[in-house]
Every structure is written in C-alpha cells, then in structure tokens.
Amino acid sequence: MRHLCDECFGPVEVAYDYDKIKLTPSMFYGRVKSLWRYHELLPLRDPAKAVDLGAGFTPLHRSIGLAERLGLKNLYIKNDSVNPSFSFKDRPATVAVSKSIEFGLQAVGCPSTGNLAAATAAHAARAQIPCYIFVPADIEPTKIIQASVYGAQVVAVKGTYDDANRILTQAADIYRIGVVNVNIRSYYVEGSKTLAFEVAEQLGWRAPDHAIVPTASGALLCAISKGFDELIEVNLLEECGTKITAAQGYGCAPIADAFKKGDEMVTPVEKPKTIAKSLAIGDPGDGIYALRKIRKTGGYAEDPTDQEIIDGIRLLAKTEGIFTEPAGGVSIATLKRMVDDGRIDRDETVVCYITGNGLKTPEVVASQLPKPLVVDPEIQALAPILSR
C-alpha cells in the first residue's frame, strides 16, 4: 500500500473530485450524529460499512466564564474530550480502521503510548478484528490499561518508542496489518479534518477568525486547515480567513520554536520534557507542513510551561466545567498568552480545540488541588465553612 510519494517521500494525500460533490447546508438535517455525516468528504467507498462508535459531533460550547475572564466576546470551546474513547483520536481511528477493513486487511494496530492506542483498540473491538499496540518495554503500566481493556494485544518492545514504531512498520506488510498512523496514515488524517467541518456547521456554516490547535506531529493542524479549504471547494463556506495557531508544551515545542525563530525547517527535540505527554513528539512528521499552514493562515505558535498548562487545565475546569488532559491545558494556556500579548482581538470569533479528557491524567493536577476540609460529624463544625 503506497503511503509515501515516490519522488519527494512526503505523505500522499487523499484527493476528491470536488466538482462532483454536491452539498448544501439543509442536506445535513437529520443525518447521523457522528463524523460520518460528512461521508461525501471521507474516503470510504461504502459509508454504511463504517466502524462507527459515534466519534465526532461533539459539543461546541459558547464560552461565558472563560470568555469573561479573558475579555473575549466570541470564544468557543470545541470539547472533543467526550468522544467514545475520550480523545479526538477516535476521529482518525474510525476512518483508518474502516479503511483497513475495506482493503481486506486482517488486523489493525499502531505504535502509541496513549490516546491513539485506546482509540484504535476501541474501534477494533467494535469491528471484532485483532489489534496490536506496540510500546517501549519500559512504559508505565497505566498507559496501556485502556487499550488492553478493549482487548488489544499490547506488545512491549525492548527498546525505544522508535524501535517499536520501526518493527511494527516492518510487520505491517508481512502480516497484512493496517497500522493506522503508518501505512493507513493518508486515510487516518482525513478523520481529523472533520473537526473543521463540525465547527463550521455549528457556527452556522461560518469559519472562525482564529483556531487554537494542540499540536504534536502537526497532522491535526494540517487536517483542520484542509477541512476548512474543502468546505470552500464544495461551496459550504463562502470564505475562510481562519488563522490557525499551534499550541505546544515548553520542553517539546519543535514547531513553535521554528515558527518563532523564522526557520523553514523544524529541528527535532531530542529529549522531550513536558507534562503534555500526548504532545511530546520530538520529531514531528508533519512539522514543516504545519509550519507552512500557520504562516499561510496568519496564525501563531506558543509554548506554555508546565505550570501554565496546569493553570490552563484548572482555569477551563473552573470557568467552563470541562476537565481536560494536559493537551487541552496547552490550548488554554496558549489562548491566554495570545490574549495577554494582544495577538487576539476582543471581537474575534475564536475556537479553542480541547482534544483529550482530564480523567485520563488526573495525577497531573492532583498535587496542586486544595485538600478536602476534614470535619467532625456535627452541624456546628460546618459553620466556619458554609457561612464564609
């Protein structure tokens, strides 16, 4: 299966014949409430055969509390942490697992230490096909619990994450495995672009002025940009001037570093060190493409520190009632920096993408939260607390 271009070795992209795709806003009334509602712009021949756990169609909240705190008039939170396996990775996983089955592959898998492993394993369970998750042998056991409970076979490779990636990639062709983020990658990224489709639909077929995207390999950012472009192609949007900003954690921010230095190339970070572990990809596969998109759209890139990320998680939880994992904290901390530095206008329509659930990583905030107040079981003991 070809997933790289023979000439430039860049990733191959799925192309659609946009002239033949006829879509109008009213066609979406009553459609399935998952990302498969956009099946004309997804790469499956028969959408009825999609492995669908209901990924997508997540809420777009108009922010009140956080908007007021930051002084923004039109802030929206795209809460993608409520997907079936609790991260946006269910979007690429539903497409990649469905496409693997269409190709007649016997099994699926991925090298991953977190969200993608869970999403792939959940969709493989739904499809009742084997799933292999390759991880470095020294991984903390908690990281693989979710994938294991869905029935995936976790293979612990005595080596690094890169070794795990390499041998699974070699096994993919020999054993006919759809490795969702390797040989099925071109289809996998198509699932993520629905994060642009949904936001536009939820805003009444309008694109936001600004989008903040948590970024690791850069695939999600590029996919969101492609999504907005496609809506113009099929006339569902009249125009799109969305500035796309990358949010990365300080300690693993190769794309943000390159952006701020004005570099054309992305220099890999050898030893990532950030609490935003789901974003800790030192050598981002789509880094230069993401960099070009940020510049082309007039966006920006930020790299908040661990403490800013924790503050971002707590701020979102307290002002909006949404508990995110560190990747979402990176988005909120980036948004805050952008507002503080005057890079976002008070009146702009801003969408902040929250891509993973806080219940996956409660340990990140636990030590900074207030301790419970311990009282005797008597009503008088409550007076100093409740009459404050």
Which residues would be at the binding site for ligand PLP (CB under 6 A)? 87-89, 115, 214-220, 278-279, 327, 355-356
Reference 246, options 271, 225, 265, 229; nearest CA is: 225
* Closest distance to ligand PLP from the beta carbon of 46 (Å): 27
CA 26 distance to own-chain centroid: 28
* Closest distance to ligand PLP from the beta carbon of 223 (Å): 7
Nearer to ligand PLP, 58 or 74 (CB): 58
* Consecutive H or E run containing 184: none
* Closest distance to ligand PLP from the beta carbon of 352 (Å): 12
* Closest distance to ligand PLP from the beta carbon of 138 (Å): 20
CA 165 distance to own-chain centroid: 20
CA 123 distance to own-chain centroid: 17
What torsion, rounded to 10 degrees, do the Cα atoms 379, 383, 385, 386 define? Answer: 90
Nearer to ligand PLP, 74 or 325 (CB): 325
Q: How far apart are CA 70 and CA 77, in angstroms?
A: 13
- The single residue listed with the structure tokens 């940009």 is 225
* Closest distance to ligand PLP from the beta carbon of 224 (Å): 10
Q: How far apart are CA 68 and CA 51, in angstroms?
A: 40
Nearer to ligand PLP, 100 or 331 (CB): 331
* Closest distance to ligand PLP from the beta carbon of 200 (Å): 20
DSSP state of 362: T
* Closest distance to ligand PLP from the beta carbon of 254 (Å): 11
Nearer to ligand PLP, 98 or 181 (CB): 181
- The single residue listed with the structure tokens 């869970």 is 118
Q: Give the type of residue at 305.
A: T
Nearer to ligand PLP, 121 or 279 (CB): 279
For ligand PLP, which residue has the nearest CB? 356
Q: How far apart are CA 321 and CA 55, in angstroms?
A: 21
Nearer to ligand PLP, 216 or 244 (CB): 216
Nearer to ligand PLP, 88 or 134 (CB): 88
Nearer to ligand PLP, 22 or 273 (CB): 273
* Closest distance to ligand PLP from the beta carbon of 379 (Å): 45
For 180, the token pair is 């969702």
Nearer to ligand PLP, 43 or 254 (CB): 254
Q: How far apart are CA 178 and CA 311, in angstroms?
A: 39
Q: Is residue 172 within 8 Å of 2, Cβ to Cβ?
A: no
Which residues lie across from 76 on neighbouring strands? 62, 351
Distances (CA, A) of 162 to 112, 158, 218, 337: 10, 11, 18, 33
Nearer to ligand PLP, 178 or 218 (CB): 218
* Closest distance to ligand PLP from the beta carbon of 326 (Å): 8
Crossing angle of helices 287-297 and 219-233, in 10° steps, is 50
- For residue 257, give every residue at least 6 positions away whose Cβ sits within 8 Å of its Cβ, in sequence order, or none: 263, 266, 267, 303
* Closest distance to ligand PLP from the beta carbon of 92 (Å): 8
Which residues lie across from 11 on neighbouring strands? 4
